[in-house]
Amino acid sequence: MEILWMLIVGGIIGWIASLITGRDVPGGIIGNIIAGFIGAWLGGLILGNWGPVVGGFAIIPAIIGSIILVLIVSFIMRKMGQKNNHGHHA
Protein backbone atom coordinates (compact mmCIF):
# COMPACT_ATOMS: atom_id res chain seq x y z
CA MET A 1 0.00 0.00 0.00
CA GLU A 2 2.87 2.36 0.83
CA ILE A 3 4.33 1.90 -2.68
CA LEU A 4 0.97 2.83 -4.23
CA TRP A 5 0.83 5.97 -2.06
CA MET A 6 4.39 6.88 -3.15
CA LEU A 7 3.42 6.40 -6.83
CA ILE A 8 0.39 8.64 -6.41
CA VAL A 9 2.32 11.38 -4.58
CA GLY A 10 5.22 11.09 -7.06
CA GLY A 11 2.77 11.43 -9.95
CA ILE A 12 1.14 14.49 -8.38
CA ILE A 13 4.56 16.11 -7.82
CA GLY A 14 5.49 15.52 -11.48
CA TRP A 15 2.09 16.80 -12.61
CA ILE A 16 2.43 19.98 -10.53
CA ALA A 17 5.91 20.55 -11.99
CA SER A 18 4.56 20.20 -15.55
CA LEU A 19 1.71 22.63 -14.74
CA ILE A 20 4.10 25.22 -13.29
CA THR A 21 6.55 24.98 -16.19
CA GLY A 22 3.79 24.78 -18.82
CA ARG A 23 5.53 21.78 -20.38
CA ASP A 24 4.20 18.25 -20.59
CA VAL A 25 6.39 15.52 -19.19
CA PRO A 26 6.96 12.86 -21.88
CA GLY A 27 5.33 9.54 -20.99
CA GLY A 28 2.06 10.78 -19.52
CA ILE A 29 1.21 9.49 -16.03
CA ILE A 30 4.29 7.22 -15.91
CA GLY A 31 6.47 10.18 -16.95
CA ASN A 32 4.93 12.31 -14.18
CA ILE A 33 5.62 9.60 -11.60
CA ILE A 34 9.23 9.25 -12.78
CA ALA A 35 9.66 13.04 -12.82
CA GLY A 36 8.22 13.17 -9.28
CA PHE A 37 10.61 10.50 -8.00
CA ILE A 38 13.72 11.89 -9.71
CA GLY A 39 12.66 15.43 -8.85
CA ALA A 40 12.25 14.49 -5.19
CA TRP A 41 15.74 12.97 -5.19
CA LEU A 42 17.19 16.00 -7.00
CA GLY A 43 15.36 18.45 -4.72
CA GLY A 44 16.58 16.55 -1.66
CA LEU A 45 20.18 16.73 -2.91
CA ILE A 46 19.98 20.47 -3.62
CA LEU A 47 17.69 21.69 -0.84
CA GLY A 48 17.65 18.92 1.77
CA ASN A 49 14.46 17.39 3.14
CA TRP A 50 12.52 20.17 4.88
CA GLY A 51 8.90 21.20 5.00
CA PRO A 52 5.87 18.92 5.00
CA VAL A 53 6.49 15.27 4.17
CA VAL A 54 3.75 13.36 2.31
CA GLY A 55 4.11 9.73 1.20
CA GLY A 56 7.83 9.79 1.98
CA PHE A 57 8.43 12.94 -0.11
CA ALA A 58 9.51 16.30 1.31
CA ILE A 59 6.94 18.09 -0.85
CA ILE A 60 8.52 21.53 -1.43
CA PRO A 61 12.05 20.38 -2.37
CA ALA A 62 10.47 17.56 -4.43
CA ILE A 63 8.34 20.01 -6.45
CA ILE A 64 11.28 22.39 -6.98
CA GLY A 65 13.51 19.46 -8.03
CA SER A 66 10.80 18.21 -10.41
CA ILE A 67 10.46 21.67 -11.98
CA ILE A 68 14.23 21.74 -12.58
CA LEU A 69 14.05 18.22 -14.05
CA VAL A 70 11.10 19.05 -16.36
CA LEU A 71 12.92 22.16 -17.63
CA ILE A 72 16.12 20.18 -18.27
CA VAL A 73 14.27 17.34 -20.03
CA SER A 74 12.21 19.71 -22.21
CA PHE A 75 15.41 21.64 -23.11
CA ILE A 76 17.17 18.39 -24.11
CA MET A 77 14.13 17.20 -26.09
CA ARG A 78 13.98 20.53 -27.94
CA LYS A 79 17.71 20.34 -28.76
CA MET A 80 17.32 16.75 -29.97
CA GLY A 81 14.29 17.79 -32.04
CA GLN A 82 16.36 20.51 -33.70
CA LYS A 83 19.09 18.00 -34.59
CA ASN A 84 16.52 15.71 -36.18
CA ASN A 85 15.41 18.55 -38.49
CA HIS A 86 18.79 18.46 -40.29
CA GLY A 87 19.77 22.00 -39.34
CA HIS A 88 16.44 23.68 -40.07
CA HIS A 89 15.38 26.04 -37.29
CA ALA A 90 12.00 25.40 -35.69
Residue range 61-81, pLDDT digits in tens: 999 999 999 999 888 888 888
26, exposed or middle or buried, with CB in 10 Å at 0-12, 13-18, 19+?
A: middle
Which residue numbers in the chain have pLDDT < 70? 84-90
pLDDT at 27: 82
DSSP state of 53: E
Q: Where are the domains of the chain?
A: 24-79
